[in-house]
């Protein structure tokens, strides 16, 4: 393997109160992170952090446009990547410590139980954490949701046929291409590439110092039901957003990881003594999803971005971007990753804003560019702002008819479309006189219903805990609190948005929101109800 060998491979690096291994490369620097404190970097990681692939993440916000709601939430994917690298390193060190005590586990994890193989395992873990999000596009998930809206609601013609197969999200496909290009630039990263791809994408073309079982352990740590990617963003997002319900005892949670070798597989469970930390994690996740990630403004942002993306897809002003004559061309992984690695064009949020403003100066998409960058009142109007609007507005005559049963049918796109059309026609009638009087035209409006469910964290197979007796059981059986939390998380959220491309009509919608939203509340249940007295 081509890499810089650490002369003190058996020694740990002392940073803070707890020593930890840094893989197979010499200690180089330390970064001060607002969430995890001092985070050490070795030589290889330091050079990756200095590359265009990681530098670009300084211009990709972690929470997209949510900083317009939570002003402190302006942190970036770069910080998150550093944090996940750190947590993956901590967890990998815990695995190595456990393997040092249990010969069966050590043999299941490594080709040979040597210190070098253990260091290789830690290094793969840290690289997976560092590189897992490098393919994110401007505004992170908001861009991908906006892209979907542009294609499926606004008819934008953007060919995404390159995004196929088992990889679910667009940024994950771009991440894989960027990691491969990075390996082409750094020869000492090549030996880790097959393992990083195996962990992130489930590929199977590796054979070396760590086993398939070890790769599966790392896969569970980065993208399982309780994973360190989510653990970092829960801690980081709550910190920057200024909310108090994201506090989790991270050290306790990681220290409770237990690995149980069974034949050729390794089962990742948690010691039952850590159940309180798991409860805190699930509670924080639920509240962050309800009040931060699924805040009613979130969909308003991606709808507005969708309109800008749709206009960009029809714009012919792309001559300044190398090798890209259109947005469709730019988004192709070969073009985008080539521009990023060479440093010619990052397509981060600074580039996107420059592009959007240039397009708006020609008259194309100006109304939506203003909505994002200048006049928030032009964003789609939230007719239903929070789930509680539905709960406190109506009482179902039969208590067993929960919101889940009542609104389940709106999960069906055809049902949502029919509902949107009913609301659209009713609202046109309600505001017609005002629109004609103020705007001199017939009302043209759009209604968008969004059906959401909070991510409860209960994945396929779920999380398991091991009791002192050695019995393994699901976490919801070990904690009645979590069982109830799962039930609560299944309650759906329905948001309804309304807007017009005509700015005058849009102002009328905003001014009429109160009475328009009442009509929606009457329409949604479609069941016998009685009003609260």
pLDDT band at 398 (very low <50, low <70, confident <90, very high): very low
Residue 14 pLDDT greater than 60, yes or no: no
- pLDDT band at residue 182 under the 50/70/90 scheme: very high
Question: Is it the case that residue 415 has pLDDT exceeding 90?
Answer: no
Distance CA 60, CA 274 (A): 34
Structure token digits, residue 475: 């976490």
Cα 154 from Cα 307, distance rounded (Å): 7
Is the pLDDT at 411 greater than 70? The verdict is yes
pLDDT for the residue 20: 64
3-state secondary structure 458-520: CCCCCCEEECCCCCEEEHHHHCHHHHHHHHHHCCEEEEEEEECCCHHHHHHHHHCHHHHHHHH
Write down the pLDDT at residue 499.
Answer: 97
How far is 45 from 32, CA to CA, in rounded Å? 15
pLDDT in tens, 121-164: 999 999 999 999 999 999 999 999 999 999 999 999 999 999 87
Dihedral of CA 317/322/326/331: which sign?
negative
Query: Out of 3-17, 68-82, 197-211, 425-439, which region has the weakest mean confidence (pLDDT)?
Result: 3-17
What value, to the nearest 5°, has the Cα angle with vertex 201 and ends 84 and 181? Answer: 80
Q: Is the pTM of this model over 0.85?
A: yes
Query: What is the Cα–Cα distance from 370 to 175, expressed in whole angstroms?
Result: 31
Q: Is the pLDDT of residue 218 over 80?
A: yes
With 60 as the cut, is the pLDDT of residue 399 above it?
A: no
Query: How many Å apart are CA 442 and CA 139, to the nearest integer?
Result: 35
pLDDT at 400 over 60: no
pLDDT at 22: 82
401 pLDDT more than 80: no
pLDDT category of residue 462 using cuts at 50, 70 and 90: confident
SS3 call for 373: helix
* pLDDT tens per residue across span 247-276: 899 999 999 999 999 877 899 999 999 999
- The phi and psi torsions of 462 (rounded to 5 degrees) equal 65, -175
Q: Indicate the pLDDT class of residue 389, thresholds 50, 70 and 90.
A: low
């Amino acid at each position: 393997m081509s890499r810089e060998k650490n002369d003190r491979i058996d020694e740990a690096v002392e940073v803070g109160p707890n020593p930890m291994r840094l893989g197979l490369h010499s200690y180089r620097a330390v970064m001060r992170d607002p969430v995890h404190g001092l985070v050490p970097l070795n030589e290889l990681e330091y050079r990756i952090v200095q590359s265009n692939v990681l530098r670009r993440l300084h211009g990709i916000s972690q929470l997209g446009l949510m900083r317009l709601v939570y002003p402190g939430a302006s942190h970036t994917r770069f910080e998150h990547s550093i944090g996940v690298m750190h947590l993956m390193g901590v967890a990998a060190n815990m695995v190595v410590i456990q393997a040092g005590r249990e010969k069966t586990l050590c043999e299941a994890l490594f080709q040979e139980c040597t210190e070098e193989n253990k260091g290789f395992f830690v290094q793969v873990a840290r690289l997976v954490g560092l590189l897992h999000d490098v393919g994110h596009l401007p505004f992170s998930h908001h861009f991908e949701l906006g892209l979907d809206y542009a294609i499926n609601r606004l008819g934008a013609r953007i060919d995404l046929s390159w995004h196929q197969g088992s990889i679910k999200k667009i940024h994950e496909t771009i991440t894989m291409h960027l990691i491969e290009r990075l390996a082409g630039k750094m020869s000492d990263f090549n030996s880790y590439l097959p393992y990083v791809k195996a962990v992130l994408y489930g590929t199977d073309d590796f054979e070396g110092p760590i086993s398939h079982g070890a790769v599966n352990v790392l896969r569970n740590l980065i993208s399982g039901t309780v994973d360190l990617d989510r653990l970092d963003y829960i801690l980081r997002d709550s910190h920057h957003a200024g909310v108090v319900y994201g506090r989790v005892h991270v050290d306790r949670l990681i220290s409770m990881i237990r690995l149980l070798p069974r034949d050729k597989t390794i089962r990742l469970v948690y010691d039952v003594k850590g159940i309180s930390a798991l409860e805190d994690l699930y509670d924080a996740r639920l509240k962050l999803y309800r009040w931060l990630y699924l805040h009613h403004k979130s969909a308003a942002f991606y709808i507005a971005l969708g309109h800008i993306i749709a206009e960009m897809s029809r714009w012919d002003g792309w001559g300044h971007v190398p090798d890209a004559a259109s947005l469709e061309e730019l988004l192709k992984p070969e073009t985008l990753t080539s521009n990023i690695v060479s440093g010619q064009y990052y397509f981060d949020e600074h580039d996107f804003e420059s592009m959007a403003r240039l397009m708006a100066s020609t008259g194309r998409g100006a109304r939506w560019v203003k909505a994002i960058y200048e006049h928030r009142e032009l964003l789609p109007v939230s007719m239903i702002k929070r789930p509680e609007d539905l709960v406190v507005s109506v009482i179902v005559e039969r208590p067993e008819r929960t919101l889940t049963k009542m609104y389940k049918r709106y999960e069906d796109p055809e049902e949502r479309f029919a509902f949107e059309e009913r609301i659209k026609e009713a609202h046109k009638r309600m505001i017609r006189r005002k629109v004609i009087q103020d705007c001199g035209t017939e009302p043209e409006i759009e209604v968008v219903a969004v059906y959401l469910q909070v991510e409860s964290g209960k994945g396929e197979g779920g999380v398991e805990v091991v009791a002192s007796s050695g019995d393994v059981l699901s976490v919801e059986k070990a904690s009645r609190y979590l069982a109830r939390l799962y039930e609560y998380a299944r309650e759906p959220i329905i948001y309804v948005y309304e807007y017009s491309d005509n700015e005058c009509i849009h102002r009328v919608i905003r001014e009429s929101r109160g009475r328009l939203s009442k009509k929606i509340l009457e329409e949604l249940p479609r069941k016998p109800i009685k009003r609260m007295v």
